[in-house]
Amino acid sequence: MTKLSVNINKIATLRNARGGNVPDVLKVAVDVQNFGADGITVHPRPDERHIRKKDVYDIRGIIKTEFNIEGYPSPAFLELVKNVKPNQVTLVPDPPEAITSNAGWNTIVHLSFLQDIIADLKEHGIRTSIFIGTEPEMIKNAALTNTDRIELYTEPYAAHYHIDREKAIAPFVEAANLAAKAGMMINAGHDLSLENLKFFNERIPFLKEVSIGHALIADALYFGLEKTISLYKQQLVKER
């Protein structure tokens, strides 16, 4: 079964909109864990517009499930994750002002940069993943960074799923096979939802984990958080 890591950034966005501590991000992190999620994901940004630095430290101290921290590897971000020591750090190439991640790494241009960062994180005992598109040359070069995993950027799949899902999934299947052949494990995330997740999970070989936030939290407004996590987990059972 593919693991589900729930990104709770949107909970922090809602809290920050009014100040105070409603909803309680820490309580939600524990609830998400108790409701059956396999991991918690956060993506702190320099302006702290959703997850704050303090949240990252506090969450680390109260959850037992896997903790994944996403972010651009600035000096401040790297200092944070090396202090917190999450189970996994997912490196994303987006600048601080980006609303959300919208592209994968160019692993050719940024090869030495990523190699140095990944080596540093591994010295601190942290598993690494890099956010990446499906271009074969980028996948092949990702292996040269010595990352443990890649996270496939799935927005193009989600955008074209209703037009032609077979065509939409094809480059992701190829990318997953290339990554596995190169010895990397495979995560995925961005715009995955109850509509498109099951098909993606069934067709992508070697898929280890998905990270989902926006769609899952939006669905929780209708179904409730516990039921929503259960619904997403159901989509991740691979039929034999």
Complete DSSP assignment for 179-201? HHHTT-EEEEESS--TTTHHHHH
CB atoms within 10 A of CB 163: 8
Catalytic residue among 43, 50, 66, 151: 43
Question: Does residue 70 have an active-site annotation?
Answer: yes
Q: Which of 50, 66, 190, 209 is catalytic?
A: 190
Instruction: Centre a 10 Å sphere on the Cβ of residue 143 and count the other Cβ atoms it contains.
Output: 16
CB 128 within 8 A of CB 118: yes
59: tokens are 């969450």
**Which of these is catalytic: 50, 66, 70, 209?**
70
Contact 156, 191 (CB under 8 A): no
124 flagged as catalytic: no
Answer yes or no: are the C-beta atoms of 138 and 105 closer than 8 Å: yes
Residue 162: active-site member = no
Q: Which long-range contacts (CB under 8 A, 24 or more apart) does 58-63 make?
A: 58/26, 59/25, 59/26, 59/29, 60/84, 60/85, 60/86, 62/26, 62/29, 62/30, 63/29, 63/30, 63/33
* Residues with active-site annotation: 43, 70, 190
